[in-house]
Structure 1
Amino acid sequence: MAGLAGLIAWTMVARHYGMDGSYAALVNVAACALPMIAWSVFVDKVHRNPSTGIDWASPKPLKDTLDISLTKLAGLWATWAGITLIYATGRFYWGGNFLFAMELFQTLAPALFVLSIPYVLWLDRYLIEPKDGAWSLGAWLMGTGEPDKEAIFNHLRSWGVKAFFLAFMVAIVPPGFGDFVRTPSFGLLADPVRLAQWLITFMFVIDVAFATVGYLLTMRPLDSHIRTANPYAAAWMAALMCYPPFILMEDGGPLDYHPGTAEWTYWLQGHPVALAVMGAVLVALTAIYAWATVAFGMRFSNLTHRGILTHGPYAWSRHPAYLSKNLFWWLSTIPLLTTGSMVDAARATLILGAVSGIYYWRARTEERHLGADPAYQDYSAWMARNGPVPRFFAWVMGRKAS
């Protein structure tokens, strides 16, 4: 909640002074991140969790870990060089909203390079097992030591996730924040449609800020490091087709269900009570979606295992974000209604059904990955017996909750 308080405080300041630019949006991310870091370290003391792999009480002499650290830095810098090459080569990254992300990364890269040296030298003295995937990659590149190939693959997958999704998150942070800050609040309470749309925008501001923090703070001292990145090709395929440049649901894409449809405000116009009720439902669904991201705190990211969540909306459903997002799309679009022909309605319904199917596929591939952890097996079994959403679907299907 500390991060949410910081975010709300900054958005209030930004709205008051009309600060709606890209860097004001980044300050919003910082206002979210810094209180979370402070709370995690000074209150929750997450840096002392055994899962960090750190033993603060027994630092090793620098001379004992120096070779390991230098090898690790070689692997880390080689990884960053590969990411830089991909960014530089992909024309997609040098236009639209992504241009801001690339310019920001260019500015920060020298500082990140320099700071990585004292950070790795310092942390390796306290790590119980400092020879991680970055070390294995460095050892393989230099032909020294005995690198662990699986550790290398996990290291590259982890940085692949971070590079792909962090660029996307930084690209979408400014537009949503700017829209929320610029929207005048005068008369909002008298207009349920404007109020709902404004609140939905704010829910996405929260979601994007927390998600961006999650991709930024993959650090062992915060116990927010990536344990494993999803090793299954099906999981990557299901996830990537939901994000640019591979997205299939964009305007004109093969899974664009919007042609021949209209938004909920079109179908319910002239019915103020129905508009207010539908607006409230859509705000609630977006709030659940944002709540699911907030529940991760600093550990949010796609395609990774960074600890098992059992609180917040995850005490109700294994996949609250996917469920609420898809319900939002169905209710806000109502594909059975059409501005064209019945063929358009049938096509939109089938395509939106395919989109929901992709999210079901994503959920299943995530469960396959996390299912290797006994903690997730216990959580999944508990959820099947006690979770309100799984029990509801079991009742609808005529099955007994297992």
Structure 2
Amino acid sequence: MYHDPALAQAVADPRPVSAVSAGAGLAGLIGVVGWCALARAFGMDGPYAALLNLVACGLPMILWSLAVDKVHRRSSTGIDWALARSWRETLDVSLVKLAGLFATFAAIALIYATGRFYWDGNFAFAMWCFTRAAPVVLVLSVPYVLWLDRYLIEPKDGTWHLGAWLCGQPGVEPEAIFAHLRSWAVKGFFLAFMLAIVPPGFGDFVRRDMAGLWSDPVALTNWLVTFMFTLDVAFASVGYILTFRPLDSHIRSANPFAAAWAAALICYPPFILMQDGGPLDYHPGTSDWTHWFAGQPWLLWLIGATLVALTAIYAGATVAFGPRFSNLTNRGIITHGPYAWSRHPAYLSKNLFWWLSTIPVLTLGSWVDATRATLLLGAVSGIYWWRAKTEERHLALDPNYRTYSEWMERRGLVPRFLRWMRGS
């Protein structure tokens, strides 16, 4: 009988199980594709249609997670449905927890109200969403906490510790409060940004005229890239919203390292360094691939297809998270999809996209402009390398990630390719 050593090694060294199934992401993907097709057919390109795209993404993932994956039964939720305590037994804990939760909401609202940039441009839409959702969230949070605390194995979480500190109760653990605040800082900062960019990308995709699209490599590339980013933004936004223990999508931990926060925040407004006119803006003196390869149809098709493939990997990395996407957190280790090839497929594909689409060594100006653009884009890529390393440092606190990382080093496509390039 023929023996395949590679197959035998793969069977003996299986990839670690992912914290979320591919089915959840696929369900959300079908929902987004279906809604986008419907929106294009009926010309629904406004902000309400963009918000419904989030519903079309999130609802199928919730249904799949509960009905098929049955994530609510996992021990990692911290829930024991057999407990079913009387609400009177947990009422004191729940009230203290609600005090901590409402204080957190108030702090986030104060930050939003103080930051002027939150009320300008695209961020104004995020604030519109929050001001209308706030009363609903406040009301529903009361029965949600009262209900869930009856089944939690340890209901005294970081929210409770914050409430206990505010109420002057004993038994407060400062680190639990800091962990709680870090988690809500992630959600408050990034959800506002994601909601701010939901309508523009969705509207651009829905409104795009398809006349002559399939014969124009540049127009087709831009349209498909816009769709990929629409997918990415939808899944990311839903991920920040659906942080619930019954979905096993809660935040296990937020990154405790200051370097990780610095590396991430400088990639997003208002701290972003890569924006037009920013210190790491590498665009002055450059053009893009459509300029350098104009008049070369086969090169335009080739480069366009490569850029679409890179964006698909980037979006696929977000889709792989299902309802768990989030920066600076551990919400369960993902090992399928693009994460079966690389620890950081999104960062890798994003940076390759920038290098290929810009080609900074080519310039409209002088060799000084080309050198400057190349060095600045190199610095941008360096920041994403820094982000990757600080994320690994945080996730390595989880034994599941250490197992995955060790497997990736042995079996991952990208690490093996890099070893081959080094001749090792």
Same fold (TM over 0.5): yes
Partner of 1:300: 325
Q: Within the alignment, does 1:7 sit opposite 2:29 as a pair? A: no
Cα distance in 2 for residues equivalent to 1:390 and 1:208: 28
Secondary structure of the residue aligned to 1:308 is coil
Structure 2 residue runs of 5 or longer lacking an equivalent are: 1-25
Amino acid at match of 1:160: A
Q: Is the aligned partner of 1:321 residue 2:346? A: yes
| Alignment partner, residue 125 of structure 1 | 150
Alignment match of 1:191 (pick from 213, 216, 225): 216
Identify the structure with bigger relative contact order (alpha carbons < 8 Å, sequence gap 6+): 2
> Alpha-carbon deviation of 1:79?
0.5
Match for 1:361 among 350, 365, 386?
386
Q: What is the letter of the counterpart of residue 202 of structure 1?
A: F
Cα-Cα RMSD: 0.6
Q: Per-residue deviation at 1:58? A: 1.7
* Structure 1: distance between partners of 2:421 and 2:280: 28
Identity %: 71
| Counterpart in the other structure of 2:306 | 281
Q: CA deviation at 1:273?
A: 0.3
301, 309, 315: which one aligns with 2:334? 309
User: In structure 2, the residue corresponding to 1:114 is in which secondary structure?
Assistant: helix
Report the Cα offset of residue 396 of structure 1.
Answer: 2.0
User: Does 2:397 align with 1:372?
Assistant: yes
- C-alpha separation in 2, matches of 1:359 and 1:107: 35
Cα distance in 1, alignment partners of residues 232 and 143 from structure 2: 32
Letter in 2 for 1:225: H
Aligned counterpart in structure 2 of residue 260 of structure 1, from 269, 276, 285: 285
**Could you state the TM-score of these two structures normalised by the residue count of structure 1?**
0.99
Poorly superposed stretches of 4+, deviation over 3 Å: none
For 2:375, the equivalent position in structure 1 comes to 350
> How much has 1:398 moved relative to structure 2?
3.6
Q: What one-letter code is carried by the residue in structure 1 that aligns with 2:395?
A: L
Query: What is the CA–CA distance in structure 1 between the aligned matches of 2:209 and 2:158, rounded to whole Å?
Result: 49
The AA in structure 2 aligned to 1:359 is Y
Q: 1:110 aligns with which of 106, 122, 135?
A: 135
Q: CA deviation at 1:145?
A: 3.0
CA-to-aligned-CA distance 1:346-380 (integer Å, 9 cap, x gap): 00000000000000000000000000111111111
In structure 2, what is the Cα distance between the partners aligned to 1:23 and 1:397? 51
Which residue identity does 2:242 align to in structure 1? L
Give the superposition deviation at 1:186: 1.9
Q: Deviations over 1:24-58 (max 9, x none)?
A: 10000110000000010011100001100001122
Aligned partners of 2:416, 2:170: CA distance in 1, in Å? 52
**Is 2:420 aligned against 1:395?**
yes
Give the distance between the partners of 1:300 and 1:167, measured in 2 at CA.
15
Distance 1:244 1:381 in 2: 35
Q: Which residue of 1 aligns with 2:10?
A: none
Deviations 1:66-101 (A, max 9, x none): 000000000000011000000000001010000011
Which runs of no fewer than 5 residues in structure 1 stay unpaired?
none
Work out the CA distance in 2 between the residues paired with 1:333 and 1:244.
Answer: 22
**What corresponds to 2:16 in structure 1?**
none
What TM-score comes out, normalization by structure 2 length? 0.93
Provide the secondary structure at the position in 1 that maps to 2:321: helix
Q: Out of 219, 228, 245, which is 2:270 matched to?
A: 245
Q: Which residue does 1:79 correspond to in 2?
A: 104
Report the secondary structure of 2:182's partner residue: helix
**CA separation in 1, counterparts of 2:157 and 2:119?**
33
